[in-house]
């Protein structure tokens, strides 16, 4: 059976998290989201979490060694053996090289298909999206006060937990996250185009419209 390795690129709040969570359920693949893994380390007050916090609070990338260690550990687990959805990694050309190394090590002679999906979006709308974003700390469901509000204010529709706002979802930190994206992550679009693995989708529009476009490219 061919293992499917799907990675996702796009600026902060482009809708990757919403779509990849849905895709993970649809394909029954684990959703490996580095931002959430790092936030869990912070919440659990681990050494990695303590180190990552200062970078995340400033909208910068956490050191490559730290994030690579966490991802390698996660992708080596049994539930990733038929495929995985990687959201938020790699975020630099250096991390892309690390991913290639770890895939080669983990997959050995396994037959694999690697696809990088790029969410192409009008970035002028994204800061408003970020400041209106709320999420459920328990089940991870993502809401937006402007276009996907919970039925009951401040409460998760799925599990009834009180919604929270990410500490880095402020106007100031968002700007710094965009700068980091443009400098470190945007070059990956060209990197994967050259390798012939990039599939670009129009990420403007409703959640369902983007979902249909996503399904069409991952088949
Ligand atoms: P996200 O939830 O994807 O928006 O990520 C939140 C923050 O976590 C980012 O602004 C970075 O500080 C950090 N982060 C997430 N993924 C990575 C990564 N692959 N490399 C370095 N830092 C990361």
Q: Which of 61, 87, 102, 182 to mutate to test the pocket of ligand 1 (most atoms within 8 A of CB)?
A: 61
Output the six-digit token pair for 5: 């390795």
Ligand 1 centroid distance, CA of 179 (Å): 13
Distance CA(49)–CA(23), nearest Å, equals 27
Ligand 1 closest atom vs CA 59: 10
pLDDT of residue 1: 85
User: pLDDT tens across 88-100, in order?
Assistant: 999 999 999 999 9
pLDDT bucket at 134, cuts 50 / 70 / 90: very high
- pLDDT for residue 193: 98
Output the CA 110–ligand 1 centroid distance in Å. Answer: 29
What is the β-pairing status of strands 133-135 and 142-144?
antiparallel
What pTM value is reported for the model? Answer: 0.92
Average pLDDT over residues 38-56: 95
The per-residue pLDDT for range 51-89, each reduced to its tens digit, is 999 999 999 999 999 999 999 999 999 999 999 999 999
Phi, psi dihedral angles at 7 (to 5 degrees): -120, 155
Provide the mean pLDDT of the chain: 95
| Mean pLDDT of the 165-184 span | 95
* Pairing of the two strands 112-120 and 83-87: unpaired
């Amino acid at each position: 059976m061919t293992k499917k390795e799907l990675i996702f690129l796009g600026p902060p709040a482009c809708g990757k998290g919403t779509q990849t969570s849905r895709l993970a359920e649809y394909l029954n693949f684990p959703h490996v989201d580095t931002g959430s893994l790092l936030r869990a380390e912070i919440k659990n007050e681990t050494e990695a979490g303590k180190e990552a916090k200062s970078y995340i609070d400033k909208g910068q990338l956490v050191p490559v060694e730290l994030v690579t260690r966490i991802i390698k550990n996660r992708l080596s687990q049994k539930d990733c053996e038929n495929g995985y959805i990687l959201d938020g990694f790699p975020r630099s050309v250096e991390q892309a090289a690390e991913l290639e190394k770890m895939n080669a090590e983990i997959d050995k002679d396994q037959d694999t298909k690697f696809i990088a999906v790029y969410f192409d979006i009008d970035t002028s709308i994204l800061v408003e999206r970020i400041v209106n974003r709320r999420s459920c700390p328990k089940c991870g469901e993502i809401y937006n006060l402007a276009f996907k509000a919970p039925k009951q204010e401040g409460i998760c529709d799925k599990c009834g937990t009180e919604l929270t706002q990410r500490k880095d979802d402020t106007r100031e930190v968002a700007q710094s996250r965009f700068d980091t994206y443009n400098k470190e992550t945007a070059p990956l679009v060209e990197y994967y185009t050259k390798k012939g693995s990039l599939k670009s989708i129009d990420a403007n529009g409703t959640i369902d419209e983007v979902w249909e476009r996503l399904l069409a490219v991952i088949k």
